[in-house]
Amino acid sequence: MADTINEAPKPGFVRLQLRTAYGPVFRHVSTSPPREARPDEIPVIDISGINGGLQQRQELAGVIKQASENTGFFYIKNHGIPENVIDAAREAAKMFFKQPMDKKLEVSKTRASTSTDTRPGERVKLRRVRAVFDYREAFMWQYDPKYDPEQKDLATIPEEVKPWLRGEDFVWNDTRHLPGFQDTCLVYWAECLKLARKLVRIFALALDLSEDYFDRVTTYPGADGVFNFYPAMTFKQAMASTDVGIGSHTDLQCFTLLWQDMIGGLQVLTKEGQWIKASPIEGTFVVNIGDYLMRLTNDRMKSTVHRVFNRSTVDRYVFPILVLHCLLDKSALYAQYLLTIPLHRYSMPFFFGFNFNEKCGVLPSCVSEHNPARYEPVSCGDWCQLRFRQTDNKIAAGTEPVTVA
């Protein structure tokens, strides 16, 4: 996965530094422009078999296994999350980000009395690292058994689970003024959680384990809901900017369910170091493997570097159309529009992992005499903490890219 630190990049490549739980990792990345992903790289998988008989579930597991061991990215369709739930969540995200910045920052300024070590500024943020901006704002919330669609008796939560439950009610208290906001977020989150629990059973089959193998470790799981907002740049800004929407990173936990709008901008780094576009496909979610699952599978399933670079889409779809209008209509209005067009991008990832307290080692089906475990057991919670310490922040997924010439 990582290239050798000292190895000079070949012509046409630059060195990309990634911060991971293991420390800095370097990749050689092609400077040739991102191209569309091929279906064998990021396939669209119909997951309706998830609700079928054992044979259908096993067939689905086979397809998911292949995609997970290849690029570690795939689209899912017929996922069962109702369109109206997604639409409502997207509207809620828009309502939140439309607020003035000081109102948005309220959520991050408030500290939860029960939180372990949350810091102000981490719920909503525009982050700056070196000369590169993450041109993004994020609103996020974490697993809370109160809202688990698998109803929990709050009086019998195991003691070892409790320290990991952060009780971040302040996220909701500080958004009370937005009508229906909390309910809408939690309905969307609950649908994602239900789907993730079904999918993790398919992953168990894909890994030659009994279907219920992970049930015991997903009772109080890592389940972060996030709304991402990538403010539009004008064409002029885009030309001048070196910012990315979200810097190159891998996701942390087991897998991510990502809803993205139709603006585009998500890019995935191939093994060969080429950026490929995971362009939006109506009616799908993108699923990608996270670092923790890669570790548990002894690197069999791939947690792949990705980023969001949204200006390219403004150029590709909108710019030529507007130029054409400018030429045909000879209208200054279009020219003006060209410089100001607002094309905000929204995405709604859901990060799924195991119960944060459960220490898990490499899975028995991923080791053999010739392929011993490469990693020590670690809990998903400790794993995330390790990465946050390395990246010096606690945002759910990202690290910034630092390209070294």
What number of other Cβ atoms are within 10 A of residue 397's Cβ? 23
Query: Rounded to the nearest whole angstrom, what is the least distance from the CB of residue 377 to ligand AKG in the complex?
Result: 25
Q: Which does 347 bind (CB under 5 to 8 A by kind): ligand AKG, Fe ion, none?
A: ligand AKG
- State the Cα–Cα distance between residues 202 and 253, nearest whole angstrom: 17
Q: Is 185 in the site for ligand AKG (CB under 6 A)?
A: no
Q: Which among 67-75, 107-115, 121-129, 258-266 is the span making contact with ligand AKG, rule CB under 6 A?
A: 258-266
Q: Which does 308 bind (CB under 5 to 8 A by kind): ligand AKG, Fe ion, none?
A: ligand AKG
The secondary structure of 293-317, three-state, reads HHHHCCCCCCCCCEEECCHHHHHHH
Nearer to ligand AKG, 218 or 250 (CB): 250
Q: Which does 72 bind (CB under 5 to 8 A by kind): Fe ion, ligand AKG, none?
A: none
- State the Cα–Cα distance between residues 209 and 296, nearest whole angstrom: 13
Structure tokens at 338: 């060209």
Q: Roughly what angle, to the nearest 10 degrees, separates helices 332-340 and 319-329?
A: 160
How many chain residues are in contact with Fe ion, going by CB under 5 A? 2
Nearer to ligand AKG, 241 or 279 (CB): 279
Nearer to ligand AKG, 50 or 244 (CB): 244
- State the Cα–Cα distance between residues 210 and 213, nearest whole angstrom: 5
Nearer to ligand AKG, 16 or 258 (CB): 258
Q: Is 168 in the site for Fe ion (CB under 5 A)?
A: no
Site for ligand AKG in 330-349 (CB under 6 A): 347, 349
Site for Fe ion in 251-310 (CB under 5 A): 251
**One-letter amino acid for residue 89 of the chain:** A
> Phi and psi (nearest 5°) for 379?
-85, 155
E strands within 13-145? Answer: 13-20, 23-30, 35-36, 44-46, 73-77, 128-129, 132-133, 137-141
- State the Cα–Cα distance between residues 373 and 121, nearest whole angstrom: 38
- Among 245, 49, 62, 61, residue whose Cα is nearest residue 137: 245
Phi-psi label, residue 167: left if phi above 0, alpha if psi -120 to 50, beta otherwise: left
Binds ligand AKG by CB under 6 A, chosen from 104, 306, 311, 387: 306
Q: Is 228 in the site for ligand AKG (CB under 6 A)?
A: yes
Site for Fe ion in 375-404 (CB under 5 A): 397
Binds ligand AKG by CB under 6 A, chosen from 16, 45, 140, 258: 258
Query: Rounded to the nearest whole angstrom, what is the least distance from the CB of residue 184 to ligand AKG in the complex?
Result: 19
Strand partners, 18: 25
Nearer to ligand AKG, 233 or 397 (CB): 397
Binds ligand AKG by CB under 6 A, chosen from 134, 251, 291, 400: 251
Nearer to ligand AKG, 205 or 226 (CB): 226
Q: Is 144 in the site for Fe ion (CB under 5 A)?
A: no
- For ligand AKG, the binding residues (CB under 6 A) are 226, 228, 246, 251, 258, 260, 266, 306, 308, 347, 349, 397-398
